[in-house]
């Protein structure tokens, strides 16, 4: 669905235009989240040692991002 080859129409890739738009918007949202994680939380380079350190680094960045998003969604008092 995401890699459109030359000569292939959109409706040949999926069953309906509605499905194509939903999948396209979903992918755009995922890429926006990844971009924000890279820019704001420094996920462009991991300096922690080994696989466990890498997992902790990514986990802490993702949890911090989720807390930030939840904080922005809460109404101000």
The domain of 36 spans: 10-73
Residue 14 placed within a domain: yes
Please write the tens of the pLDDT for every residue from 2-57.
566 676 776 777 778 888 888 889 989 999 999 998 998 888 888 888 999 989 99
Q: Which two tokens stand for residue 10?
A: 């959109």
Rounded CA gap, 66 and 73, in Å? 11
**Domains: count for the chain:** 1
Q: What is the pLDDT of residue 46?
A: 81
Q: What is the pLDDT of residue 10?
A: 67
Q: How far apart are the first and last CA of the chain?
A: 44
Q: What is the pLDDT of residue 18?
A: 86
Contact (CB, 8 A) for 56 and 27: no
Residue 5 placed within a domain: no
Residue 1 placed within a domain: no
Residue 47 placed within a domain: yes
Reported pTM: 0.65
Q: What is the pLDDT of residue 4?
A: 62
Per-residue DSSP letters for 29-59? HHHHHHHHHHHHH-TT---S-HHHHHHHHHH
């Amino acid at each position: 669905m995401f890699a459109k080859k030359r000569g292939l129409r959109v409706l040949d890739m999926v069953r309906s235009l509605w499905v194509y738009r939903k999948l396209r918007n979903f992918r755009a949202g995922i890429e926006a989240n990844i971009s924000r994680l890279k820019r704001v939380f420094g996920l462009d380079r991991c300096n922690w040692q080994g696989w466990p350190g890498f997992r902790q680094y990514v986990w802490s960045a993702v949890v911090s991002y989720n807390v930030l998003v939840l904080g922005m969604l809460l109404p101000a008092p």
